[in-house]
Chains A and B, each alone.
Chain A
Amino acid sequence: MNIKAENLCFSYGSEQVLHHINFEISEPKIYGVLGRNGAGKTSLLSLIGSFREPTSGQLLIDGEPPFENARIMQNVSFLYNKDFSGETDSPSKIIEDIRWYRPNFDLEYGKELIKKFHLEGKKGVNKLSKGQQSAFNVVVGLASRTPITIFDEVYLGMDAPARDLFYKELLKEQERHPRIILLSTHLVSEMEYLFDEVLIIKEGRLLLQESYDELITRGVTVIGSKEAVDAFAAGKEVLNTEQLGDTRSVTLYGKLSEEDEKYAAELGLSIGPVSLHDLFVQLTKEEQTHA
């Protein structure tokens, strides 16, 4: 399937949340949707999930607006940090019902996931812990096998082993049944290895859409002795500095020129890739206001 946004705008009343967003997604890959709190991630994802309509501009899925389009809506799952307080049915019972709505739903796989995440039993979803409710969302999203699956910060409250299981299952599923997976998160450092492509949203605008491999060449980490690193970093944009004994590590923004590389070699510095986390913090930080 294909998702295309053209000049997409969205407002809540008089407050404009999304400003003229343009992008296109066609390949069944895992897309990281990153942005700070309130940047508009959830608003954008809820438009793709047909929970809301754009205020202006267009959002097209396979060339058609998804809102109230039965053929498209059945193929898009939108999982978010939902309020389950009224949901008295057990996870197993709910997935038995959901399979009627999702053409590719795999009930066997759903049951298997329920076991893996320890969600068996007759306990209503409203009685589960926050982390278990999130895990249940993950189960529904994975087992639905919709060609477009959106996980909007679904990991909230999940403990580390459960999150790890989620990431592993996600990658396995992606290999077996490739689909467009949109993953929005704050936990950039923990999840970055999952992303094939990254979209960063800043203050309601799309800052960039790039492949992960491309994006992390936008910066480098330089490690070496304190003096050598300082000499090399002089005049360059430093994102982050860390020190252990006499060894210093700095994260620099921007690609290195051949001369830089030669110079680094002369100084005996080792050069490594930058983390997406550091880049994300740098790219989305607010401009300093000068008094």
Chain B
Amino acid sequence: MHKPVSYPRTALDMFLVQGTWTIWYLAIVFIINQASTFVFGNEMEPFYSSGYVSTNVYMLIIGIIAIYFMPYYVGNGITRKNYFIGGVIAGIALSIVIPIAVYIISLAQKLIVKWFAAAEISGRALDNIDIDVDGNIVGELVQAVILTPFVSPDSNLIQSLALFAFHIFVFYMIGWLIGSAFYRLGVIGGLVSIAVSIALLFVKDSMIRLSLGLPLFQNFSALGQIPSSLAIPIAFAVVLVLIVLIRLLTKRAPIKM
């Protein structure tokens, strides 16, 4: 009797498929980033900053469609469990590889700029943008998605890459949660999962801000009471909650035909 296919196989498969999408995605972001300078004459934005912001949305989207690996796998005789574990591992691997790739591309970008000396990379990096803490919930929501807490790679490379990886992994898991909820529970459940996701996102963001000593959004200033030593554990607890919710939704999910 053959040993059944297990999660190393599904993890590798999913990573390779999502990795191929990622190469396309990074190429497109790079082209847009270059075009904005060389074609439209804007000040050059560091690629690391563009990547830091746009990858959140990218990971949210590939997280949402990660649920469609499930019918494929079950149809090929693989358990939901092995699909789930494979998906988590692939997400972690992507979240580690993408920040490193973005950083390497941004170094290459600096070299290109040096050779051509046609443009200068603006010093306006993300760490110089002040968040607007005016208490408008929608505004804060948009800012929380776009302006995830940032540490410049020049000030602390490891911390910057780790934070980058953590943010995009959370977005991937949030996407996967929303995708699973729509698949399993339909529209109402899906909408509830979006609300849950936004709440989890705020908690995660506030905890990271707390641990970095950044100001909190006004609507969530109550979270400032939490001792900063607990901030990182709570941020990781958010990931754990996401993992548990996705597993509960997919564990015994019927496959749509």
Give residues in A with beta carbon < 8 Å to B: 42, 46, 50-53, 67-71, 73-78, 80, 82, 86, 97-98, 100-103, 146
Contacts and interface: CB of A to CB of B under 8 A. Distances in A.
A95 to B, nearest CB: 11
A63 to B, nearest CB: 14
Given A51-B257, A68-B251, 4 more contacts: A51-B255, A73-B78, A76-B77, A101-B73
Interface in B176-195: none
Contacts of B73: 101
Contact of B254 (A51, A70, A146): A51
B6 A70 contact: yes
B75 A78 contact: yes
Contacts of A78: 75
Q: Which 10 A-B pairs have the closest CB atoms?
A: A103-B2, A70-B4, A51-B255, A101-B76, A74-B77, A73-B77, A52-B254, A74-B4, A68-B79, A70-B79
Contacts of B76: 98, 101-102
Interface string B1-27: 110111001000100000000000000
B81 interface: yes
A80 B257 contact: yes
Interface in B50-89: 68, 73-82
A58 to B, nearest CB: 16
B114 interface: no
Interface of B: 1-2, 4-6, 9, 13, 68, 73-82, 251-252, 254-255, 257
Nearest to A68: B79
B4 A77 contact: no
Contacts of B251: 68
Contacts of B255: 46, 51-52
B77 A82 contact: no
A68 B4 CA distance: 12
Contacts of B79: 68-70, 73
A46 B253 CA distance: 13
A148 B75 CA distance: 13
A52 B74 CA distance: 10
Contacts of B68: 86
A22 B198 CA distance: 48
A72 to B, nearest CB: 9
Where chain B touches its partner, the secondary structure class is loop
Contacts of B80: 68
A70 B83 CA distance: 11
Nearest to B12: A100
B254 A74 contact: no
A53 B252 CA distance: 8
B159 to A, nearest CB: 39
A153 B78 CA distance: 23
Nearest to A77: B77
Nearest to A50: B74
B78 A101 contact: yes
Contact of A100 (B5, B74, B75, B82): B5
A74 B2 contact: yes
Contacts of A70: 4-6, 78-79, 81-82
A52 B77 CA distance: 13
Contacts of B78: 70, 73-74, 101
A53 B74 CA distance: 13
Nearest to B4: A70
Contacts of A76: 77
Contact of B74 (A51, A71, A98, A102): A51
A75 B77 contact: yes
A13 to B, nearest CB: 12
Contacts of B252: 53, 67-68
Nearest to B68: A86
Nearest to A51: B255
B81 A101 contact: no
A73 B78 CA distance: 6
16 contacts: A51-B74, A53-B254, A68-B251, A70-B5, A70-B6, A70-B82, A71-B4, A73-B78, A73-B79, A74-B77, A74-B78, A82-B257, A97-B13, A101-B73, A101-B78, A103-B2
Nearest to A98: B76
Nearest to A103: B2
A97 B76 CA distance: 10
B77 A101 contact: yes
Contacts of B82: 70
A76 B77 CA distance: 7
A40 B29 CA distance: 50
B1 A71 contact: yes
A15 B73 CA distance: 28
A69 B79 CA distance: 7
A210 B82 CA distance: 38
Nearest to A52: B254
